[in-house]
Amino acid sequence: MISGNLKKEFEILLGEKNVMSDEVSRMNYAYDAAVLDPVMPALVLRPESSEQLGDVLRLCGENGIPVTVRGAGTNLSGGTIPYKNGVVLLTNAMNKIIEINEADMYAIVQPGVVTANFAAAVAAKGLFYPPDPGSQKVSTLAGNVAENAGGLRGLKYGVTKDYLMGMDFFDAEGTLVKTGSKTVKCVTGFNVGGLMVASEGCLGVFNEITLKLIPPPKASKSMMAVYDSVADATESVAAIIAAKIVPCTLEFMDNFTIRAVEDYAKAGLPVDARALLLIEVDGHPGQVADEAAVVEEICKKHNASRIQVAKDDEEKNKVWEARRAALSALAKLKPTLVLEDATVPRSQIPEMVRGLDTVAAKFGLSIGTFGHAGDGNLHPTILCDRRDTKEWHKVEAAIEDIFDLALNLGGTLSGEHGIGIAKSGYMAREVGEGSMNYLHKIKNAVDPKGILNPGKVIGD
Amino acid sequence: MNDISNLRATLSELDDLLVNCMRCGMCQSVCPVFQDSMLEGDVARGKLALIDGLAKRMIDSPVAVKERLDKCLLCGSCEANCPSGVKITDIFIKARTVLTAYIGLSPVKKAIFRGTLIHPRFFTGLLSMGAKFQWMATSKADPFLGTSCSKIMSPLIGNRHFLPLAKRPLHKDYSGVDTGKGTAGMRVAFYPGCVVDKMLPQVGHAVIKVLEHHGCGIYLPKNQGCCGIPALASGDEASFLKLLKHNLKPFSQGNYDVLVTPCATCTSTIKKLWPKMAAKISPEAEKKAQRIADRTMDISEFLVKTFDVDLSAHAVVGEKKTVTWHDPCHLKKSIGVSAEPRTILKGLPGYEYAEMNEADTCCGNGGSFNLLHYDTSSRIGAKKRENILATGADVVATGCPACMMQMTDMLSQGHDPVAVKHIIELYADAL
Ligand SMILES: Cc1cc2nc3c(=O)[nH]c(=O)nc-3n(C[C@H](O)[C@H](O)[C@H](O)COP(=O)(O)OP(=O)(O)OC[C@H]3O[C@@H](n4cnc5c(N)ncnc54)[C@H](O)[C@@H]3O)c2cc1C
Ligand code: SF4
Ligand code: SF4
């Protein structure tokens, strides 16, 4: 429990407006984007500076108060659902871009900077920050690092971890820890930054983050390939990679999703198609032209019934609008949408899609599948109504089947949405008890009182 | 106070709408109030969670929930961008009504809605009295914009630079007009709305000039009432229904082809809320309201869809000026009108059109939001002002009197030499 005295201390530290204890404010930070029950925190704290952030952690450490850090609260795994009687620590008042260094191509940011705002500021300087999660208009960079967020460009440009050069973070006692550097190369000490990636607030609270920037590609070309069979589509994916071409984006949509998008966005998609691939290659203009031609050739060879190459920016936009509309289109069909992200080695995509069909049929559920085919990271999306208890049990069983399916194909539970509380119970299935023990040992060593986002990732 | 379990039961009726919110948080990117405060209680997701929490017994403070719900511009930006298609403004209005019924209407609002607004004749009379006294109590704040900053009123209403009440409201010059079909073969009903009638009659005059120019017959029935949105937004459903009943009568008659308004908020209210709410009166009332709604159009949309509005061949008087456009939320987000006004502006002689950044971001007025949360409203308005100034425009045009008031306040406080005009004024001037 948080005593009146401790609350006062927080108020002296942060100012009264940044310490919220009324019921309504606590309700407002009881949930995130995961389909899970809300839990109300005891207090909501909003530091405005690094010093305040460190002091809050020191106080929580001294008093053994559980802390759940929250960026935009868009994670899909319950990572920001607070611990009972704990506090929620908001980072959104710390949202300054401290430096964009064009000569050395890096940037330093506060934790609460919104991803898309950052990407735009970087683009304005003629540079490029590629990670573009679907939530980028609201997600924070610390949230991206803490979930190792990916996006549409993951295949060629990698995910958030590939852009993390260094950071400083506060540990469970409020001590500032530094790791990494602004230099391209750095082997000074353990790679603690690597450990912080996908740590979901369990190992430290990020303060300033140093991110790598790259020059933007000069040209790009997009196309849509239409297929009468899912196998042909997924085999095209494998063949494109085998031809040593790495498109920046290689997305898949199944028939269910195609129909939903067409119903909703009227984008002119072929509703009879069994599958679609949306492909973009980028780089130097010459290379782009060559690669686009080879990709087209490969798709044709794998029985694409139609290939539509975008002639201009407007057509290109249309291709990607269809993809961006996928989630909205599916979301509108039923009250509850469960967005999964079990991921397999990309050669296993055909098997994965077949398996998902079997799961949908077994439980009589509607599952629309789309996603990052090039990464092996599909998003089987289950549509249901959570209020229907019988159906919800089926959904839970189906999710478990999907996890097993992915693991049997040599895949992983989560490609980018994180473990949080939603998947922590399944962790051992993938990594085994020995690995779980090791993770617990790390956690106990750096956070002996267990105050940093307890219950997440590795469970209690 | 009523029993809280009744309140929860009534709120639970919203469950079928509430359940569609998947808590994705994407509304954070478009909500002007959230972007100012960065507080979850200010964004749609947070507000919906509070309604849900109250209905499901997670929280017990209807007054605090109502306060959060009231801190909203009802601009519909969240709804227009919600991936899940949640009927957010419907939910908010319904929840405000339910909560107001439980808590009671604030005494000031009660006086306004129950005492004046719903008695159109009395309201009109009261305001024109105000117009006469106002000139004694106000000083001209910025001669360029014609606003006046009331010395006497300012402790009560902050440092607003508000538009003075007109000396002569529109209805003094036009009341009970019905000129038949006109040479264009159409009879157009004209609903000026309260602000145009009482504060910006010049906009009403411009509408009439334009309609006459295009040969439209005009139907402007006597004693029109407020569209009702201020009352409904405050949760006062009873007053809204009274006004609606009052308005159904004149506008169910007249056998007109189109009903135009120069007020985006009125247009949106008539089209979207009148039919829905009229269903609560009777099935016949709903039918009537639907007939009215189906024929209702924003003035720019009507002109562009009906006539050739390209005036670029007209002679240019004086120096060329630059004009920019602000999209009222109730025009673009609510009823999807955004291309037509630009078509008109681009066809004006003597004007260069310049698109402003974030043209469709809310100006921050939000009706009574401006009164209740003037600081937030001003900070949101200040961003709009910056975007207007960045275009270097001489004139900012828009299609909603409420936005005009807000932009006038913001620009006037900065002593900026930018005129705020209703698009129809510019069009009328160019004829
Ligand atoms: C519509 C939608 C689309 C999405 N698309 C994608 C996608 O394409 N790819 C993808 O990878 N994800 C996606 N996501 C998931 C989510 O947006 C990402 O995980 C994102 O990185 C979360 O950022 P956030 O700021 O919302 O973090 P939050 O949800 O607030 O927090 C996420 C985790 O990070 C921790 N955390 C936050 N700040 C700090 C800090 N300063 N220090 C330490 N830990 C911290 C939290 O404790 C929590 O465990 C999507 C979500 C939605 C709703
Ligand atoms: S965007 Fe829509 S679905 Fe998402 S949180 Fe906001 S209201 Fe809910
Ligand atoms: S209506 Fe406007 S102010 Fe209200 S929650 Fe939605 S976006 Fe925010």
Distance A124 CA to ligand 2 centre (A): 29
Lookup: tokens for A216:
């933007």
Lookup: tokens for A173:
């006692």
Distance CA B196, CA A405 (A): 65
Supply the mean pLDDT for chain A. Answer: 96
Distance CA A21, CA A38 (A): 17
Q: Supply the pLDDT for residue A26.
A: 98
pLDDT digits (tens, 9 = 90+) for A251-270: 999 999 999 999 988 888 99
Is the confidence at residue B305, as pLDDT, over 60?
yes
The DSSP output letter for B113 is I
Q: Supply the pLDDT for residue B156.
A: 45
**Which residue in A33, A137, A335 is closest to B29 by CB distance?**
A137
pLDDT digits (tens, 9 = 90+) for A162-192: 999 999 999 999 999 999 999 999 998 999 9
Q: Which mutation among B24, B28, B43 tests ligand 2's pocket best, with the greatest number of atoms within 8 A of CB?
A: B24
The model's pTM is 0.91
CATH number of A218-323, picked from 3.40.50.1100, 3.30.70.3450, 3.30.300.20, 3.40.309.10: 3.30.70.3450
> Residue B151: pLDDT band by 50, 70, 90 thresholds?
very low
Q: Does B69 contact A at CB distance below 8 Å?
A: no
Distance CA A328, CA B82 (A): 8
CB distance B92 to B42 below 8 Å:
no
> Residue B112: pLDDT band by 50, 70, 90 thresholds?
low
pLDDT digits (tens, 9 = 90+) for A271-295: 999 999 999 999 999 999 999 999 9
Q: Which ligand is nearest to the CA of A66?
A: 1
Compute the nearest-CA separation of B86 from chain A (Å).
Answer: 9
State the DSSP string of A260-326.
HHHHHH-----TT-SEEEEEEEEESHHHHHHHHHHHHHHHHHTT-SEEEE--SHHHHHHHHHHHHHH
Lookup: tokens for A195:
């450990």
Residue numbers in A near B57 (CB within 8 A): none
Is the confidence at residue B147, as pLDDT, over 60?
no
Q: Does A101 contact B at CB distance below 8 Å?
A: no
Classified as helix, coil or strand, B283 is: helix
Distance A21 CA to ligand 2 centre (A): 25
Residue numbers in B near A23 (CB within 8 A): 59-61, 64
Q: Among all residues of chain B, which has the CA nearest to that of A328?
A: B83
**Which residue in A24, A33, A95 is closest to B25 by CB distance?**
A33
Is the confidence at residue B137, as pLDDT, over 50?
no
Is the confidence at residue B126, as pLDDT, over 60?
no
A-B contacts at Cβ under 8 angstroms: 89
Is the fold of A4-90 the same as that of A218-323? no
Q: Supply the pLDDT for residue B118.
A: 62
Q: Supply the pLDDT for residue B144.
A: 57
CB distance A109 to A87 below 8 Å:
no
State the DSSP string of B341-367.
HHHHHHT-TTEEE-PPTTTTS--S-TT
* B211-230 mean pLDDT: 92
Q: Supply the pLDDT for residue A7.
A: 97
Cβ atoms < 10 Å from Cβ of A85: 14
Distance A144 CA to ligand 1 centre (A): 5
CATH of domain B308-430: 3.40.50.10700
The residue to which tokens 């006469």 are assigned: B132
| B 37-56 near A (Cβ less than 8 A) | 38-41, 46, 49-50, 53
Compute the nearest-CA separation of A393 from chain B (Å).
Answer: 18
Which amino acid appears at position A148 of this protein?
N
When mean pLDDT is compared over A226-235, B41-50, B98-107, the highest value belongs to B41-50
User: Atom 5, ligand 3: which residue's CA is nearest?
Assistant: B44
pLDDT digits (tens, 9 = 90+) for A6-42: 999 999 999 999 999 999 999 999 999 999 999 999 9
Is the confidence at residue A128, as pLDDT, over 60?
yes
Backbone angles phi, psi at B106, to 5 degrees: -60, 145
Q: Supply the pLDDT for residue A347.
A: 86
- Spell B275-299 as b/e; 16+ CB within 10 A means b: bebbeebeeebbebbbebbebbbbb
Is the confidence at residue B141, as pLDDT, over 60?
no
How is domain B2-103 classified at the CATH fold level? Answer: Fumarate Reductase Iron-sulfur Protein; Chain B, domain 2 (1.10.1060)
* B214-233 mean pLDDT: 91
* A82-97 mean pLDDT: 97
Dmax over Cα atoms in chain A, in whole Å?
Answer: 72
Lookup: tokens for B229:
């949105």
Lookup: tokens for B191:
């609903």
Is the confidence at residue A382, as pLDDT, over 90?
yes
Ligand 1 site residues (CB inside 6 A) read A 32-33, 68-76, 79-80, 91, 111, 133-135, 139-140, 142-144, 146-147, 149-151, 200-201, 205-206, 327, 416-418, 453; B 24-26
Is the confidence at residue B111, as pLDDT, over 70?
no
CB distance B59–A25 less than 8 Å?
no
Q: Supply the pLDDT for residue B132.
A: 43
Is the confidence at residue B155, as pLDDT, over 70?
no
Sequence-separated (6 or more) residues with CB below 8 Å from residue B308: none
Domain assignments of chain B as residue spans, ordered by start:
2-103, 170-304, 308-430
CB distance A387–B26 less than 8 Å?
no
> Element (H or E) spanning A26, and its range?
helix A23-28
How is domain A334-417 classified at the CATH fold level? Answer: Alpha-Beta Plaits (3.30.70)
Q: Give strand ranges (E) for B164-215.
A: 177-178, 187-190
* B47-69 mean pLDDT: 96
Ligand 2 atom having least distance to the Cα of B23: 5
The residue to which tokens 């603690």 are assigned: A192
> Residue B234: pLDDT band by 50, 70, 90 thresholds?
confident
CATH 2.60.40.10 is held by the domain A97-212: no
> Residue B225: pLDDT band by 50, 70, 90 thresholds?
confident
Q: Among all residues of chain B, which has the CA nearest to that of A31?
A: B23
* B256-273 mean pLDDT: 96
Check residues B224 and A302 and name the one with the higher pLDDT. Answer: A302
Compute the nearest-CA separation of B45 from chain A (Å).
Answer: 9
Q: Which ligand is nearest to the CA of A74?
A: 1
Distance A180 CA to ligand 1 centre (A): 22
Which whole-number Å values give the CA distances from A89 to A81, A112, A173, in the listed order?
Answer: 11, 11, 15
* B352-370 mean pLDDT: 92
> Element (H or E) spanning B107, and its range?
helix B107-110
pLDDT digits (tens, 9 = 90+) for B81-95: 999 999 999 999 999
pLDDT digits (tens, 9 = 90+) for A315-366: 998 889 889 899 999 999 999 999 999 999 988 998 999 999 999 999 999 9
Compute the nearest-CA separation of B43 from chain A (Å).
Answer: 10
Q: Quick one: what percent of chain B has pLDDT higher than 70?
A: 86
Q: Supply the pLDDT for residue B317.
A: 78
Check residues A398 and B371 and name the one with the higher pLDDT. Answer: A398
CB distance A192 to A181 below 8 Å:
no
Ligand 2 atom having least distance to the Cα of B26: 1
CATH number of B170-304, picked from 1.20.120, 3.40.50, 1.10.3470, 1.10.530: 3.40.50
Lookup: tokens for B227:
């569209």
Considering only CA atoms, which of B270, B292, B255, B290 is closest in space to residue B178? Answer: B255
Considering only CA atoms, which of A387, A381, A359 is closest in space to residue A369? Answer: A381
Is the fold of B2-103 the same as that of B170-304? no
Q: Which residue pairs, CB below 8 angstroms and at least 24 apart, start in A8-15?
A: A9/A59, A10/A43, A10/A45, A10/A56, A10/A59, A13/A52, A13/A55, A13/A56, A13/A59, A14/A45, A14/A46, A14/A47, A14/A48, A14/A52, A14/A56
Say which CATH class A4-90 falls into: alpha beta
CB distance A403 to A426 below 8 Å:
yes
Sort residue A410 into left (φ over 0), alpha (ψ -120 to 50) or beta.
left
Q: Does B355 contact A at CB distance below 8 Å?
A: no
Domain assignments of chain A as residue spans, ordered by start:
4-90, 97-212, 218-323, 334-417
Q: Which mutation among B17, B18, B82 tests ligand 2's pocket best, with the greatest number of atoms within 8 A of CB?
A: B82
> Residue B142: pLDDT band by 50, 70, 90 thresholds?
low
CB distance A28–B65 less than 8 Å?
no
CB distance B47 to B27 below 8 Å:
no
Distance CA B268, CA A431 (A): 56
> Residue A133: pLDDT band by 50, 70, 90 thresholds?
very high
> Residue B172: pLDDT band by 50, 70, 90 thresholds?
confident
* B147-164 mean pLDDT: 53
Q: Supply the pLDDT for residue B163.
A: 66
Helix/strand number for chain A, H first, E second: 14, 16
CB distance B26–A332 less than 8 Å?
no
Q: Which ligand is nearest to the CA of B330?
A: 3
User: Atom 4, ligand 2: which residue's CA is nearest?
Assistant: B24
Q: Supply the pLDDT for residue B138.
A: 47
Distance B404 CA to ligand 3 centre (A): 19
CB distance B340 to B301 below 8 Å:
yes
Q: Which ligand is nearest to the CA of A138?
A: 1
* The dihedral sign for the CA sequence A261, A263, A269, A271: positive
Q: Does B357 contact A at CB distance below 8 Å?
A: no
CB distance A336 to A385 below 8 Å:
yes
